[in-house]
Amino acid sequence: MTPTLSVQNLRVEIPTRRGVLVAIDDLSFDIAPGEVLGMVGESGAGKSITGQSIIGLLDPPARIAGGEIRLGSERIDNLPPPAMRRIRGKRVGMIFQDPLTSLNPLYRIGDQLTETILTHQRVSPKAAAEKAERLLVEVGIPAAGARLSAYPHQFSGGMRQRVVIALALAADPELIIADEPTTALDVSVQAQIIALIRRLCKERGTSVMLITHDMGVIAETADRVCVLYAGRLAELGAVRDVIRHPQHPYTHGLMAAIPSLAGDPDERLAQIPGSMPRLGAISAGCAFNPRCSFRFERCPAERPGIYEAGRSQASCFLLDTGGPAAPESALAAASAAGITVRARPGEANR
């Protein structure tokens, strides 16, 4: 089956007066039809710039310097701007973090929906208006017919985000990129929006790339999760596997930092020391090694490949079955932390 979206060896560079900064470095992943792929990581990990690369909205001087992006069977990273504009909205929908940035405050909601429909589909104005009303009903806005004549400021934050979801679905796209769609909303409204996105996309067969820093949102919504760190892939796998059995030390740190309702209320949360490196200060070896409790001599010197780890993939030398073995201390600490450590050639199973 051809994936809806295929990103292979993507590299995004930002030229500056002091040299070229690499924002995304050799990133690869696929999204299958009807699948929700969560993309998670700290601020600065490269989540949003990956989404911008896919839809051709990189802010200059940022540029795609390598790799390729395919939507279905068509390569889209090298398309001219007019061709990319025809894809945005029609084949790829976008849901942004703040719905007010997606809605024109001077135009009625119905006008914005019908304009989007008429731009991308060959229908009459009457049919477009009818579809706009159906979309509002589909996303759960009460009295949809009457609300078509309302302005964005007359909606609550949660209702505005529902309108943005309706806009993203207006042209029946193959893929929706949702960039932090629940961050600005109350917790109760977040749950409603998460459930809405998942339901609509399953019913329509639309693929979703869900960008967030919240592992709770990923657990509730996504089928698979892609963990980014400093513009590089840290781990990729099914949500259940990654959450229950994280294979990369960074993923393990993210999971350990989530409070548990069943835990000791006096127990302090685990934390990852340090912070995400600046683009000009990323290690030539493993980008995470300055903050990693399991690092050893290979980590600062060599960049790890992508290794199979059960049903997941992770970029960590602890999983390298063919390379030099890690010190006993690093292997023991990783095993104690729940990170799978495979036996290397000539070693006993651990």
Q: Residues, the chain, total? A: 350
For the stretch 113-134, pLDDT in tens is 999 999 999 999 999 999 999 9
Is the pLDDT confidence value at 228 over 50? yes
> Looking at the structure, do residues 207 and 252 belong to the same domain, yes or no?
no
Residues 6+ apart with CB under 8 A from 70: 3, 5, 6, 7, 8, 76
Dist. CA 321–CA 325, nearest whole Å:
8
| pLDDT score at 98 | 82
Tracing tokens 């731009």 back to the chain, one arrives at: 119
In-domain check, residue 72: no
| pLDDT score at 137 | 94
Bridge partner list, 226: 39, 236
> Looking at the structure, do residues 49 and 183 belong to the same domain, yes or no?
yes
Residue 347: band (very low, low, confident or very high) from pLDDT cuts 50, 70, 90:
very low
Percent of the chain predicted with pLDDT > 90: 67
Q: Which of 162, 163, 47, 170 is nearest to 120 (CA)?
A: 170
In-domain check, residue 198: yes
Q: Which of 323, 282, 324, 320 is nearest to 300 (CA)?
A: 282
| pLDDT score at 344 | 52
> Looking at the structure, do residues 224 and 292 belong to the same domain, yes or no?
no
Its sign, for the CA torsion 116, 122, 125, 129, is negative
Domain that holds residue 319: 246-259+285-342
For the stretch 67-112, pLDDT in tens is 999 999 999 999 999 999 999 989 999 998 888 888 999 999 999 9
Is the pLDDT confidence value at 349 over 70? no
For the stretch 143-196, pLDDT in tens is 999 999 999 999 998 999 999 999 999 999 999 999 998 877 888 888 888 888
Tracing tokens 């945005």 back to the chain, one arrives at: 88
Is the pLDDT confidence value at 346 over 50? no
Q: What would the mean pLDDT of 29-37 be, rounded to a whole number?
A: 95
| pLDDT score at 343 | 52
Dist. CA 155–CA 142, nearest whole Å:
11
Q: What would the mean pLDDT of 315-332 be, rounded to a whole number?
A: 85
Domain count, the chain: 2
Q: Which of 229, 237, 270, 321 is nearest to 26 (CA)?
A: 229
User: Is residue 53 within 8 Å of 77, Cβ to Cβ?
Assistant: yes
| 206-224 burial code (b ≥16 CB/10 A, e <16) | bbbbbbbbbbebbeebbbb
What CATH number corresponds to the domain at position 83? Answer: 3.40.50.300
